[in-house]
Structure 1
């Protein structure tokens, strides 16, 4: 009955937070143990009583301030210095700029929306097909969950009770690996499709772009450097990033007006509020799963199928690709971590950091895969390209993402060597 309630609500397009809460309430009502309702409210609030969760609205705020204050466009111009002269130069610029933005925003959906507005029109003017321009911009959003900071890493750290700073460090090499594979994909596709040759900036233009972009570039350096050196916690780094973006946007570039702040704060509050409510609802749902001993049942079934950690992780990847096609990444993460993480650690000896990187990256692929594919619809809305055309152009990048997942699953040191 409980599974039926969950599926009916889910496919009736009820908001996922209500799906989780109502399913939990239905379970308690069916169990007849109405004393559990006495703990219901406590579980709702207990799930969000974690200092690390403050990083989520703060990183969202930093991204909003950077986009409104002109920092994003300066980072794109700075990327031209590094890769602008190669064949398919704008494609490389797009990817490098996405790497920079991934080190600030932490949200794939927000990154796709912002970079689509900034990069796709410029690529179309230089002769790139609209579908390819939208596809590479969307592919850059796949870097967001693993290049620190990452909203999914923050949430995974809370759910798994591991240090969020260590999760950020664990994502550095996987992020660089996937970036390198994306660069290779662009190079190979550029040879096949003969993309236009880029132009290197003149010395004067490069110097201007560097000095104009340097203040914006300090934001990701502040975030990652502060965490790696241990000077600040991830939450404190998010606060510093927001303050830095505010100061640079208002005092250096002077594009961010104080009159913009109420609307920025409103958008940040609405977006982060939805995430926090979802986490709260998932706290109750996870409590019900544990009470029902579902993780133990799943563990017993999986152990019967394989005893190889690598095979187990591949099974997780396959299952989560399907889950990610239907559920939002945050909602899916909240659902699967309480069930699968204990199995990974107790029965297969897998590090929570390796498991976290694999799970977060796999779930974000769902952002760009039908039938839900919210990232495809965001890219389509920003560019006017039909979602399925973007998906077809995106397939080489999704294949490289799968290759990254296989390598990360089979070689734990890619994740663990920096810890």
Structure 2
């Protein structure tokens, strides 16, 4: 109760989300009287960032800066538009499709939103789309990262639950495609209601010119795909290679970038990365406090005594997970929840651990773009300069579509299990 009321009060007072998360942990330590925890406080905050994979975040922010400065992002978006027929809201579909491609490469929502916010949102705004809507579509596309393989969440769940990670990857394909198609349908509805710009009519010569001009720019995503999927580099290392390519192409091929542009890009990327990384560190220490207060175990004991129906159990669990996802990042949430709920799901209700894992990961994914923690939401807000409250309101229809897919998976488990069994 102390944690919740303190957090709500700090937010209402206008304190930034990252500072509020860090302050609540200190308030809980003071109220509990266990001052020994103060010794672990800086270690827990640093532990949220002590991850080699986290280094990819500032590097992908830097890549986005270089791609914009060198005119690379504009040419890649022009290439995608050249592949589309004349269509209302075409650039929005391009944004979502690019998000799905990046999801299959990165597996990280924050990194995906980071690079797409720098790449797609400025181009959509130039084409006449409202910035807030462009940012919302980009943030919604970030929901695909933890679902489309390779998924960091599936890897962590597979390790904790002792289930084959390959089967988790396969089981996530159909849910990811369903969410993508649902988002496409929603964009079609938004395009008519908000009168999105149409894809410009292009002659064959214009389409060919767009393809030729984009060939050097296409080397950048190609280098990321080949280096990661070929096992030559980690996502962090691939971001370094891609950033160097972006500099060379911007300087010597397109010549829209000068040596003087490199330093401002480094400064801008450093500022953006500092804000996002501090938010992640604050979320880690907040999750530590909730775990120490033993809140999840108490809720699990209460929930398992409510019903004998597996479907109703999953529905009730989803309501709980929505609340957990709002105050905790998915990775610490999985580490915390799986040992508590998996024995109940498999032992008491006879649920398949693969099916349970997909439902769990999908639901916690929604927390990435929901306040008050929502690192994906606040990353998109910071990088696009759209207020988080406005962004959260625009994301409600996308969250509704994703939750509908979760309900379909709960009712028809074969959506997750059929493909894995067939393969």
After TM superposition, the score normalised by the length of structure 1 is 0.72
What CA distance in whole angstroms lies between the structure 1 residues aligned with 2:194 and 2:223?
Answer: 39
Alignment of 1:123-202 (within 5 A): 123=128, 135=133, 138-147=136-145, 174-186=175-187, 201-202=202-203
- Give the 3-state SS of the residue equivalent to 2:305 in structure 1: helix
Q: Deviations over 1:309-366 (max 9, x none)?
A: 6655544655566777x77xxx654774454344443433545963574145412453
Match of residue 2 from structure 1: 2
Distance verdict in 2 for CA 1:58–1:190, change over 3 Å: closer
- Among 112, 119, 137, which residue is 2:124 paired with? 119
Conserved? CA contact 1:70–1:253, under 8 Å: yes
- Deviation for aligned residue 1:294: 2.2
Match of residue 232 from structure 2: 231
User: Is 1:281 equivalent to 2:282 in the alignment?
Assistant: yes
User: Is 1:251 equivalent to 2:248 in the alignment?
Assistant: no
- Give the 3-state SS of the residue equivalent to 1:106 in structure 2: helix
- Give the 3-state SS of the residue equivalent to 1:145 in structure 2: helix
Which deviates more from structure 2 when the two are superposed, residues 11-20 or residues 59-68?
Answer: 11-20
Alignment of 1:322-341 (within 5 A): 333=330, 336-337=333-334, 339-341=336-338
For structure 1, the 5+ residue unaligned runs are: 125-129, 368-372
Alignment of 1:14-413 (within 5 A): 14-86=15-87, 89=90, 92-93=93-94, 95-96=96-97, 99=100, 106-108=111-113, 111-112=116-117, 115-123=120-128, 135=133, 138-147=136-145, 174-186=175-187, 201-306=202-307, 311=312, 314-315=315-316, 318=319, 333=330, 336-337=333-334, 339-348=336-345, 350-351=353-354, 354=358, 357-359=361-363, 361-366=365-370, 397=398, 399-407=400-408, 410=413, 411-413=415-417
Conserved? CA contact 1:56–1:272, under 8 Å: yes
What CA distance in whole angstroms lies between the structure 1 residues aligned with 2:275 and 2:158?
Answer: 21
Conserved? CA contact 1:58–1:238, under 8 Å: yes
What CA distance in whole angstroms lies between the structure 2 residues aligned with 1:417 and 1:247?
Answer: 47
Conserved? CA contact 1:219–1:245, under 8 Å: yes
- Deviation for aligned residue 1:78: 0.9
- Deviation for aligned residue 1:213: 1.8
Which deviates more from structure 2 when the two are superposed, residues 167-176 or residues 206-215?
Answer: 167-176
What CA distance in whole angstroms lies between the structure 2 residues aligned with 1:377 and 1:44?
Answer: 22
Q: Deviations over 1:196-234 (max 9, x none)?
A: 875663333222212222333333333344333333223
Conserved? CA contact 1:69–1:248, under 8 Å: yes
Q: Deviations over 1:23-60 (max 9, x none)?
A: 33333333333333333333333332221211222222
Distance verdict in 2 for CA 1:272–1:188, change over 3 Å: closer
What CA distance in whole angstroms lies between the structure 1 residues aligned with 2:40 and 2:175?
Answer: 40
What CA distance in whole angstroms lies between the structure 2 residues aligned with 1:400 and 1:155?
Answer: 20
Conserved? CA contact 2:251–2:257, under 8 Å: yes
Instruction: Give the alignment's Cα RMSD to 1 decimal.
Output: 4.7
- Deviation for aligned residue 1:404: 3.5
Conserved? CA contact 1:174–1:415, under 8 Å: no
Conserved? CA contact 2:135–2:381, under 8 Å: no
Distance verdict in 2 for CA 1:13–1:311, change over 3 Å: farther
Conserved? CA contact 1:376–1:391, under 8 Å: no
Conserved? CA contact 1:320–1:362, under 8 Å: no
Count of aligned pairs between the two proteins: 396
What CA distance in whole angstroms lies between the structure 1 residues aligned with 2:41 and 2:379?
Answer: 34
- Deviation for aligned residue 1:17: 3.4
Q: Deviations over 1:74-99 (max 9, x none)?
A: 11111123213346655544544555
What CA distance in whole angstroms lies between the structure 2 residues aligned with 1:244 and 1:193?
Answer: 38
- Give the 3-state SS of the residue equivalent to 1:83 in structure 2: coil
Conserved? CA contact 2:135–2:384, under 8 Å: no
